[in-house]
Amino acid sequence: MQKPDIKLVCFYGPESTGKSTMAKHFASLYHTEFVPEVSREMITTNHFTVDDIIRIGKAQTERIKNKLTTANQILFCDTDLITTQIYSRKYLGVVPAILYELEKEITYDQYFLFDIDVPWVADGLRDLGNERETMMNIFKEELAKRNIRPVLIRGSWHEREETIKATLTKLLL
């Protein structure tokens, strides 16, 4: 059960834009929890099945719900179910209906859209370095379809951090 005073924040965007690093960093700064991209604990390649993507969606949703019970004022999430849908469509050509249902179970107070203006870094799972602009547009379009207005995170790591801090200060008032 979510504590009523917990703000839920989503770090959102294409691969290799700093979401994981920032989620960990801000959880430490705010003495709270973060939810990693659970799929990285479940798969080791981008060759996965519909059953795998459904398990990932369920696990991500459950992890968020569990961390909401222990978070302090704010919970940082390294991804969301929209992202799971995007990668399901990209790699499998289909989005299982349950991913849309799971999306409805979590409501974020703030989205931060991470721009692709930082170097892409291979890590064994990332493989879309040559499709960064296309993927960025897909991520933007999915938010627009839902009338979600994110804060764009771009620039140096310091500039990114300052933009996030300023937005969080307003969010936590």
Confidence (pLDDT) at 126: 60
Q: Which domains does the chain have, with CATH numbers?
A: 7-171 (3.40.50.300)
Task: Write out the DSSP string of 44-103.
Answer: SSS---HHHHHHHHHHHHHHHHHHHTT-BSEEEES--HHHHHHHHHHHHS---HHHHHHH
**Could you tell me the pLDDT band of residue 34, with boundaries at 50, 70 and 90?**
very high
- Residues 109-158: tens digit of each pLDDT: 999 999 999 888 776 666 666 889 999 999 999 999 999 999 999 999 99
pTM above 0.85, yes or no: yes
